A and B are shown apart, each in its own frame.
Chain A
Amino acid sequence: MAERERRQTPPYGGVFVAHARIMDADDMARALRRMAHEVIERNHGLDQVVVVGLQTGGVPLAGRLADALEEIDGIRPPVGSLDVALHRDDIGLRPVVPEAATEIPVDLDNRIVVLVDDVLFTGRTIRAALDAACDFGRPRSIQLAVMVDRGHRELPIRPDYVGKNLPTRRDEVVDVHLEGVDLGVMQK
């Protein structure tokens, strides 16, 4: 969710300074294609699959994952978006303002929900997303796809589909954007 944090007021925001390019656009496209194959393999096709991007960083990736799924299987699964700001466990501890749309196009009862986010870090966003998703029905299963798993989990949560495993320091920031993935720090 680097994109969201960057727009927060200091000290949460600041200017992102990249140290290293971790993935370029081609790497990301290849990773998304592989993840799409894994989704289809794991679920024996796309029957009942719904792709849900987490606001804001996961939403464009969810669209691209759905593109890749359609390319491979000929079927485009329904795509939604979920803003978990109001389900977070740090409400009141730091400014949390919902700012993006939640749109779940189908009832999630008995669906296979593939949550998509850009970066998996502490796992707290995903915990909130699991809570939020269950307000839209009772999915048969919920799976997690992330472009980057950077470690430092604080909750027993693991991804099902990973673009890249990236060991990081806690104070580093991973920025996922259209042209690639950068590792850097926030400067005040």
Chain B
Amino acid sequence: MTVHLLGIDGMDRARIEELLELTDTFDEIGRRPIPRVPALRGKTVATLFFEDSTRTRLSFDAAAKRLSADTLNFAAGASSLSKGESLRDTVDVIASYGVDALVVRHPMAGTPHRIADWTDAAVVNAGDGRHEHPTQALLDAYTLRQHRGALDGMQVAIVGDIRHSRVARSNVLAFSMLGADVTLVAPATLLPDSVAGWPVRVVHDLDAVLPGLDACYLLRMQRERITEGLIPSIREYVAGYGLDAGRAARLPKDALILHPGPTNRGVEISAEVAADPRSVILDQVVNGVSVRMAVLFLLLGSGLDHEPAADGEVAE
């Protein structure tokens, strides 16, 4: 049976915690003089990105290489897609190179799930439309856990363009599964049509919640939202929701500041705050590789997908 990672939805607390514990091992490997183990020797990991990405793609590539897997990289812009090849054909071609895992990013929600039906390879969702971005949520949860030991009872605000954010969706699920209290902070136009069933509190006033936060998670603000009429101007958005030095001063002294990147300095976060000692944005980047190593190892190397050996011999 092939195991996939398609979303935080479908995972439970025990599974997430198992993954975060496993990440500790890979974090230690990352700090070795030679940060490489032969765990996935002979396996091939392909990244299929139908959308631009820097850190997600690079960190999956680095994670696979640190596990000694071979990597294949597919980018939509430089491919036969521009010659009219269908998604199905593209996937079949890549799978025929003997790929053990496919890391997929696509602008349409549900694409990784479709691909999982078509192939024997393990599929990892690296972002599908506005739906989910599970490895981002896992690395964010790992970063919080690294600084606080556990997420239980933590007050976490997710601030910004919730409506268009797959990061918000996955993070709400992961953080609340791990016991954190999540508050969404955004103007009404940047919230989903309904948050019914989401385990969250919704507020529109960032200043009101700042003093009670353990962590403030800022989402990337895109300029297209102005032309879509969702915000009047960037300046107005910054005035209400940008984390600048003044607002950061009202956060508790030990609060954590997170951002999935890439940051718009001066919009959702000021340059000064990004460099604040409470900012763990660079930790998130480093942890991204460790978490993705844990995910790839769990899917391809841990033997989870194998029947136990028939002779049942105890290996020494």
Listed in ascending order, the chain A residues whose CB lies under 8 Å from chain B are: 1-2, 5, 10-12, 83, 86-87, 90-99, 101-102, 107, 119-122, 124-125, 131-132, 135-137, 150, 170-171, 173, 186, 188
- Judge whether B312 and A12 touch: CB under 8 Å: yes
- Judge whether B315 and A124 touch: CB under 8 Å: yes
Instruction: Answer whether A136 and B38 are a contact pair too, CB < 8 Å, given A93-B303, A94-B309, A101-B28.
Output: no
Instruction: Answer whether A97 and B308 are a contact pair too, CB < 8 Å, given A92-B301, A131-B38, A135-B34.
Output: no
- Judge whether A11 and B33 touch: CB under 8 Å: no
- Judge whether A95 and B316 touch: CB under 8 Å: no
- Does B37 sit at the interface, judged by CB under 8 A? yes
Give which listed residue, B40, B300, B306, B314, contacts A93 with CB less than 8 A. Answer: B306
List, in ascending order, chain B residues with CB within 8 A of A121's CB: 316
Closest to B314 in A: A5
- Judge whether A135 and B32 touch: CB under 8 Å: yes
Give which listed residue, A98, A124, A125, contacts B22 with CB less than 8 A. Answer: A98
CB of A149, distance to nearest CB on chain B (Å): 11
Listed in ascending order, the chain B residues whose CB lies under 8 Å from chain A are: 22, 25, 28-29, 32-34, 36-40, 67, 297, 300-304, 306, 308-309, 312-316
List, in ascending order, chain B residues with CB within 8 A of A137's CB: 33
A12 to B29, CA, bound (A): 27
A12 to B306, CA, bound (A): 13
CB of A155, distance to nearest CB on chain B (Å): 12
- Judge whether B34 and A5 touch: CB under 8 Å: no
Q: 16 A-B residue contacts at CB 8 Å?
A: A2-B316, A10-B308, A12-B312, A86-B37, A87-B37, A87-B38, A90-B315, A93-B309, A94-B308, A95-B308, A98-B25, A102-B28, A107-B33, A119-B316, A122-B316, A132-B37
Give which listed residue, B29, B67, B302, B314, contacts A95 with CB less than 8 A. Answer: B302
Give which listed residue, B28, B309, B314, contacts A173 with CB less than 8 A. Answer: B314
List, in ascending order, chain A residues with CB within 8 A of B315's CB: 5, 12, 90, 94, 122, 124
Instruction: Answer whether A91 and B39 are a contact pair too, CB < 8 Å, given A96-B301, A97-B22, A97-B302.
Output: yes
CB of B243, distance to nearest CB on chain A (Å): 36
Instruction: Answer whether A92 and B316 are a contact pair too, CB < 8 Å, given A97-B22, A135-B34, A136-B33.
Output: no
List, in ascending order, chain B residues with CB within 8 A of A87's CB: 37-39
- Judge whether A83 and B38 touch: CB under 8 Å: no
A135 to B33, CA, bound (A): 7
A137 to B34, CA, bound (A): 8
List, in ascending order, chain B residues with CB within 8 A of A12's CB: 308, 312, 314-315
A131 to B301, CA, bound (A): 18
List, in ascending order, chain A residues with CB within 8 A of B306's CB: 92-95
CB of B293, distance to nearest CB on chain A (Å): 10
CB of B18, distance to nearest CB on chain A (Å): 9
CB of A42, distance to nearest CB on chain B (Å): 25
List, in ascending order, chain B residues with CB within 8 A of A120's CB: 316
CB of B76, distance to nearest CB on chain A (Å): 31
- Judge whether B302 and A86 touch: CB under 8 Å: no
Closest to A152 in B: B316
Closest to B39 in A: A86
A137 to B306, CA, bound (A): 35
- Judge whether A95 and B303 touch: CB under 8 Å: yes
- Judge whether A11 and B29 touch: CB under 8 Å: no
List, in ascending order, chain B residues with CB within 8 A of A2's CB: 316
CB of B29, distance to nearest CB on chain A (Å): 7
- Judge whether A91 and B28 touch: CB under 8 Å: no
A68 to B36, CA, bound (A): 34
A120 to B300, CA, bound (A): 28
List, in ascending order, chain B residues with CB within 8 A of A99's CB: 25
List, in ascending order, chain B residues with CB within 8 A of A91's CB: 39-40, 301, 303
- Judge whether A92 and B38 touch: CB under 8 Å: no
List, in ascending order, chain B residues with CB within 8 A of A188's CB: 312
